[in-house]
Chains A and B, each alone.
Chain A
């Protein structure tokens, strides 16, 4: 898909989906290139609690209360944009889905939790 896109409307706060169609976070912010050198490119997607600091007063508050790292996904990893932002590879390769990795241990011991 190509053409014009409004970044806040069409990308920011949208769901990230990895190469296997699994949900792996939201687009919390976008990293742009240097604005002093002409029109910047979108360099990367930023995901994670620290990235909320730029999202207004409530964002700063939430970033202060939450734990986690910011994950940086280079824009070149984006496969396409539809209702969400689809990435080319599995979440783990980008360092996404870490929260689920940690949470997995809390439920995996219960019989019937799945593979």
Chain B
């Protein structure tokens, strides 16, 4: 009974932690521009992250190797280092976007100058990471992130055309601007599958000291948790489809996003939405900073982990601090956080194959996995989504250029 309770708590944290700034920006923009037509793209993205999270969680548990260990072992020093550098650049962009997102959400609550809020955000993140144990961080940000469910409630209250919603799950493009449409397909899949998520998830499995008896928890978190988390993405898109699409509004700010809950649910909806965004994006920022630290530590073989004290893993500790500082420096230059978000997602897409291929390889390696290697189901999904990822990775930059970053 206790086990079921624990698994349920893990699922809740996974749901609340699913959405990050990239998901918010792309799902809302997609709903505003294409109504329900891109729901199917979210399904594909969610399916990919479920498949690969379960896989690399299992790899981490059974072999005690995290995802980036596999990158160096499988791809060698040279290519592994390229993957590290590219991954870190993408991580930094993503982190900058998330820090900006936190400051934007804070600005909706307290009208302080943006740069002050950026400093506040980074200091708060640093203190939280330093003080709280790993499990607490994940639980707190995950549970409070559940307030994003207000968008699900709001979406229903807006009485969407459910027939239209249903048809959105079938890929079709009823638009003259195919390049923009495809750009959003790439962006939605990319936002759901950002590399830092799998790196973080696999290292997190080792942080949480999962053993093979936790493989059920791993499956539950990945499959149930992320499926339900995907519902939040749907809610964002449907809300935007109801509020912005009919009026041809292009939501440019986080405030517009929060309106999505304000309109159907009033002041309380707005407040819950802002809090939800704050904690979902805040949790994502921590995950990204950690992911950067995990990757560099794992590549060079340093001791790592929040489960170690700072003194036991000093270079790892300095690494996440440096990540926060660099992310801050990028966003404090005054670049628009929403634009940084868009670029970070698109560049992440290009890095996806280097992230996902080693995971699929190691998950099939019997010497690592023993009896727990991929079965046929995991491999069918794994290969299918790998093909999807390869296609979007190749298409990302050309589509970005042709569609003028989704502006048309």
Q: A and B touching (C-beta < 8 Å)?
A: yes
Chain A residues in contact with chain B, CB under 8 A? Answer: 10, 13-16, 22-26, 28, 47, 52, 55-59, 62, 83-84, 97, 99-100, 103-104, 106-108, 110, 112-115
Stretch at the interface among B73-81, B254-262, B329-337: B73-81
CA distance in complex: A89, B51 (Å)? 39
- A-contact 0/1 string along B323-361, CB 8 Å cutoff: 000000000000000000000000000000000000000
Known: A15-B69, A25-B300, A26-B300. A108 touches B311 (CB 8 A): yes
Contact of A23 among B77, B82, B303 (CB under 8 A): B303
Contact of A113 among B72, B300, B304, B310 (CB under 8 A): B310
CB nearest neighbor in A for B303: A23
B139 within 8 A of A: no
Chain B residues in contact with chain A, CB under 8 A? Answer: 63-65, 69, 72-73, 76-82, 130-131, 298-304, 309-315, 317-318, 367-368
CA distance in complex: A15, B342 (Å)? 36
CB of A28, distance to nearest CB on chain B (Å): 8
Contact of A52 among B65, B77, B367 (CB under 8 A): B77
Residues of B within 8 A of A52 (CB): 77
- When the two chains form their complex, are residues A23 and B314 in contact, meaning their CB atoms are under 8 A apart? no
CB of A103, distance to nearest CB on chain B (Å): 4
Residues of A within 8 A of B65 (CB): 15, 83-84
Contact of A115 among B69, B131, B311, B314 (CB under 8 A): B311
Among B79, B80, B301, B318, the most chain A Cβ lie within 10 Å of the Cβ of B301
CA distance in complex: A83, B301 (Å)? 13
CA distance in complex: A14, B304 (Å)? 15
Contact of A104 among B73, B80, B311 (CB under 8 A): B311
CA distance in complex: A99, B313 (Å)? 10
Known: A99-B302, A100-B315, A103-B315. A112 touches B131 (CB 8 A): yes
CA distance in complex: A6, B368 (Å)? 14
CA distance in complex: A27, B285 (Å)? 32
CA distance in complex: A108, B314 (Å)? 8
CB of A85, distance to nearest CB on chain B (Å): 10
CA distance in complex: A47, B58 (Å)? 29
CB nearest neighbor in B for A102: B314
CB of B325, distance to nearest CB on chain A (Å): 13
CB of B318, distance to nearest CB on chain A (Å): 6
Residues of B within 8 A of A108 (CB): 310-311, 314
Contact of A107 among B69, B72, B301, B318 (CB under 8 A): B318
CB nearest neighbor in B for A114: B309
Residues of B within 8 A of A22 (CB): 303, 312
Among A14, A99, A100, the most chain B Cβ lie within 10 Å of the Cβ of A100
